[in-house]
Structure formats: C-alpha cells, structure tokens
Amino acid sequence: MCRHLAYLGPRVSLARVLLEPEHSLLRQSWAPADMRGGGTINADGFGIGWYHQGRAVRYRRPCPMWSDTGLAALADTTVACAFMAAIRSATVGMPVVETACAPFGDDTWLFSHNGRVTGWPGSLAGLAAGIPPVDLYTIDAPTDSALLWVLLRDRLRKGIPPGEALGSLTAEVLAAAPGSRLNLLLTDGTGVWATTAGHSLSILHRGGVVMLASEPHGRRGDWTAVPDGRLVAADMSMYTVEALA
C-alpha cells in the first residue's frame, strides 16, 4: 500500500538514497517487504519532491518507477539536503494519474499518505465542509490522499503547528472513518512529521542524517521501527515519538 520516504541531511544525490540502496524505494516498487492491508507491488506511479533555494520542486509520473527512462539521469544529477519520495499502489476505485501521486504540496510543504480512508469520499464530507470551495475545485486528483492534503494544508495555513495539524487531522479522520489507514508524512525541508496508523514506518536518526521510511532501505540495525498509533517529529538535532491522541 504505497511506500514513502523523507530525507533531511547533508547534500546528496537523489540516486544515492532512492535508487542505489539494497532495498531502495526503486526495489520496493516491485518487491516491497512489509505491505499491510492489501496490494503486492507499488506500480501505479511515483513522485519525488526536493528543495531548491527553499522552494519545493516536484517530479511525479503515472508509471512504475522502474519504467521511467529519464529517472536515473535526473536522480544522479539532482542533489538536495531535503526531499520526499513515494511509490503508489492505487486504492481500488482511485485513478492512476500523475496528479494522484505523492508528494502533494506547494512552495513550502511536501506531503504523502500511505493508506486509505474507509468510506471515502462520503466519510470525509463533514471534515471537508469547512474548506473554502475553491480549494476543493482545484484538488489535485479525486483520491483520498489528495483530499487529506487539502484538509491538512487548510490547518497549516491557519498557523496550526505541523505536528499538531497532522495529529489532529489523523484523530478526526479516524473518528469520521474508523478503520482508515493513515500513515502521513510531511516536511518543510527543515523538519519532518509522520503518523503511523495501519502501516509500517522506520526512522534512522544519526550523524546528521534523518530518514523516515515505510521500509528501511539498508541494514535493519541502523533503523528503529515506529510502533503503530504514533506521531513522530524530527529535525537534524532530535526526534520525538508520542502516542496519537
């Protein structure tokens, strides 16, 4: 059910993190190790978002990561000190289009959702009622993940701190749509926030590198698994893991 990853640290080529490790995101697109809740491969598109001079740049494609002929060169020649990437296994009934691929975001933020919202879209009608209509007309794609981004962005625009916005959104979606799987991932290029609700997540925080990933991409001993039902907040100097409200 989709796999995602966020990196903060020294400048590194995208290829070094996303393509080269033994159990890279590229490999996870056809051979993921810890899929929960259905799905066997992540072949319904992918996306990468990174920061250039403080601004988020995104590259999303509706094809399997392994079939993008331009990716190897792009990833080799793009260096960044903060990025997010995701590979997608579309939920039944949701379209396979570029704009349904994470990361979602804008100039400052990158966001990904691994999971599905039970009873979507009806179950989120109450939460969406408070959103300015123009934000709903301009939604990226008719998917649960795109709507979660619109709901989260609204909270961020209101000045709610990112960890609090992610935590409150997760709690409210779980109340409105019980049984949803909501592994959310958010970065602004200097901090990263994540939830675990129904899917796997691991963290590597060492030597000036922070990585949060659905699956460790290298030696498992370097990574710490985050239990279910947690909110993680991390930056270069520290990280915290708390129970979701």
SS3 232: strand
In angstroms, the CA 179 to CA 13 distance is: 38
In this chain, which of 25, 87, 100, 233 binds ligand GLN, going by CB under 6 A? Answer: 100
The residues near 22 (Cβ < 8 Å, ≥ 6 apart) are: 217, 218
- CB neighbours of residue 24 within 10 Å: 20
In this chain, which of 113, 153, 205, 217 binds ligand GLN, going by CB under 6 A? Answer: 113
Q: Tell whether residue 115 is a contact of ligand GLN (CB under 6 A).
A: yes
Number of residues that bind ligand GLN (CB under 6 A): 16
Indicate if the alpha-carbon torsion angle 89, 95, 98, 104 is positive or negative.
negative
Please indicate whether residue 2 is annotated as part of the active site: yes
Q: Tell whether residue 2 is a contact of ligand GLN (CB under 6 A).
A: yes
Q: How far apart are the first and last CA of the chain?
A: 24
In this chain, which of 24, 28, 29, 89 binds ligand GLN, going by CB under 6 A? Answer: 89
Residue 113 or 217 having the CB closest to ligand GLN: 113
Q: Tell whether residue 144 is a contact of ligand GLN (CB under 6 A).
A: yes
Q: Which residues bind ligand GLN (CB under 6 A)?
A: 1-2, 39, 88-91, 94, 100, 113-116, 143-145
Show which residues are catalytic: 2
